[in-house]
Amino acid sequence: MQACADILLVRGRPMLNLKEAAQHYRALLCLEKVFGNKNPVELEVGCGNGGFILEKAKRNQSVNYLALELSTNVILTAMERAKEEGVQNVRYLNIPAEILPCYLEEGSVRKIYLNFSTPLPETSREKQRLTATRFLQIYHALLIDGGTIEQKTDSEPFFEYSLSQYAENGFTVTDITRDLHHSTYAAENIITEYEHNFASKGMPIYRAVAVKQ
């Protein structure tokens, strides 16, 4: 972790419970200083091993990328890959998504990516889903006007749940694709390792784009 300290912006969380921290603790990052430019910022929530965000960063060097991952072991792999490949326009957040408001200013992000978030189908765990109301309210605040959420998932129930959540929380869904790899979006799609495993078994990939109103 020390070897990756120059690209790790935040690790851990304030000594408060998540709700109190999100509401009251602020240590806002100046992203212009972090990246050394005024390029637009895009955020992946749950970056895993980091393959998607690295490929985005390499294809779009005039965009700055933030990658959030809660697991320290997993984000370490992602950061090591970025260092090895010399990718300069990605920075990492090793924190729970609930406390993004502690570190990112409102209206500071152009796009948010949700790639294969854990569906958590149990009713008792609905609030933990990354498209539950409490998370969508955070994303809505962080996004610029007209900013977007781009979601991919292999779970149809989670996909349908997310579509209804967007409609209830200030977003308009502009693109819905229920078989991404056989759609017009396939050519530009960056396939994650997780996605490849499911697609190789013939399972459809669901995709939606939700626009902040």
pLDDT at 138: 97
Average pLDDT of the segment spanning 203-212: 95
Average pLDDT of the segment spanning 170-188: 93
pLDDT at 169: 97
Tell me the residue type at 213: Q
Residue 49: alpha-carbon gap to chain centroid:
13
- pLDDT tens track for 104-140: 999 999 999 999 999 999 999 999 999 999 999 999 9
The pTM assigned to this predicted structure is 0.95
pLDDT at 114: 98
Q: How far apart are CA 178 and CA 180, in angstroms?
A: 6
192 has a pLDDT exceeding 90? no
- pLDDT tens track for 37-94: 999 999 999 999 999 999 999 999 999 999 999 999 999 999 999 999 999 999 999 9
- pLDDT tens track for 154-163: 999 999 999 9
* Residue 168 CA: distances (Å) to CA of 118, 131, 140, 163, 165: 21, 11, 12, 9, 5
Tokens of 100: 């993004």
Q: Concatenated DSSP letters for 78-90?
A: HHHHHHHHT--SE
CA atoms within 13 A on the CB side of 119: 13
Q: How far apart are CA 37 and CA 42, in angstroms?
A: 14
